[in-house]
Amino acid sequence: MSAFLQSLLGIVIPLFAVSSMASVGLAHPLREVTRPLRRPVKVAMALLANFVVVPLLGLLLLRVFDLALPQKVGLFLVASAAGAPFLLALVRTARADGALAGGLLMLLLPSTLVFLPLVLPLALPEAHEHVGAVARSLALTLLLPLALGIVARWRFGQRVERLLPVLQKVSTLSLLLLLPASLLANLRAIASLRGTGAIPAAALLVAGALLTGYLAGVPTREWRVVLGLGTGQRNVAAAMTVATSGFDTEEPLVMVVVTSLVGFALLFPAAWALRRLLERHRAPRRPRFSEPETEQLGRRRA
């Protein structure tokens, strides 16, 4: 059963990543996807939140919680990797701007490919030679489908837009398979971490990253929601690839998986809450007085 679930995850994870990123490229013109990248303040705050504040938060949690070294490595890798396709599912749940999410991923994914090799020797010196494999995997499953979707929309227009509902259904179905499969495949690993402080540390990392991104998301409420979810959802795929390459033990990978499951448990309810916040913010404000009430006030004063 465990082998079947692992094989299923090996298919579903890249399928979700490719279909999600390709659907963003088909759904939005290039000018919409790159819109966040034209604002220097937005770019600077997104990079600061994801590659300075959250990694520092990870280091702080390593000092607060008495974790074993492999667990520390797993947590630090998650804290250092940003830009995940799961952001698109979270943004759909929150009914936020998908183009903003696509633009944020275009910023965070290449930045992770540069940043992760810099911090990798601090956490896992033995895996330094595998950074190229990480970069290739992320480029093929995330950046390439996004670019192909954008080019296809630009080149063929409405003729390829018919593929969009199909890609969105594939993305949704793969996500529905991914969540329970991840949980069932790692039940034993999760149980082994009870009482170690690993789960509270993972929860604090995800919650702190979500709050960091939300506070850094100036100047609009829509951008706050997208950046909050995008910062809270770390790049688990990159962290998993590195965690499996440098240790003979599976403990770093287990910590990465546990953190990803904790992220699912926290971020989807957060996305629902942020959805209600956005709906209230978008709702037209009712006038303080209706027209008849205003006329009556005027008559009384007269």
pLDDT of amino acid 127: 59
Domain count of the fold of the chain? 1
Domain carrying residue 180: 2-280
Query: How far apart, in Å, are the Cα atoms of 180 and each of 176, 236, 264?
Result: 7, 16, 11
Q: Is residue 289 scored above 50 in pLDDT?
A: no
Lowest mean pLDDT: which of 50-59, 86-95, 152-161, 210-219?
152-161
Query: pLDDT tens digits, residue range 74-83?
Result: 899 899 989 8
121 lies in a domain? yes
Residues 116/242, Cβ–Cβ less than 8 Å: yes
25 lies in a domain? yes
297 lies in a domain? no
Q: Is residue 291 scored above 60 in pLDDT?
A: no
129 lies in a domain? yes
Looking up residue 121, the CATH number of its domain turns out to be: 1.20.1530.20
Q: Is residue 245 scored above 70 in pLDDT?
A: no
Mean pLDDT of the chain: 82
289 lies in a domain? no
Q: Is residue 279 scored above 80 in pLDDT?
A: yes
User: What average pLDDT does this structure show over 8-32?
Assistant: 80
133 lies in a domain? yes
Q: Is residue 290 scored above 60 in pLDDT?
A: no
20 lies in a domain? yes
Q: Say which residue, 138 or 102, is predicted with more confidence.
A: 102
44 lies in a domain? yes
Lowest mean pLDDT: which of 18-32, 35-49, 238-252?
238-252
pLDDT of amino acid 285: 56
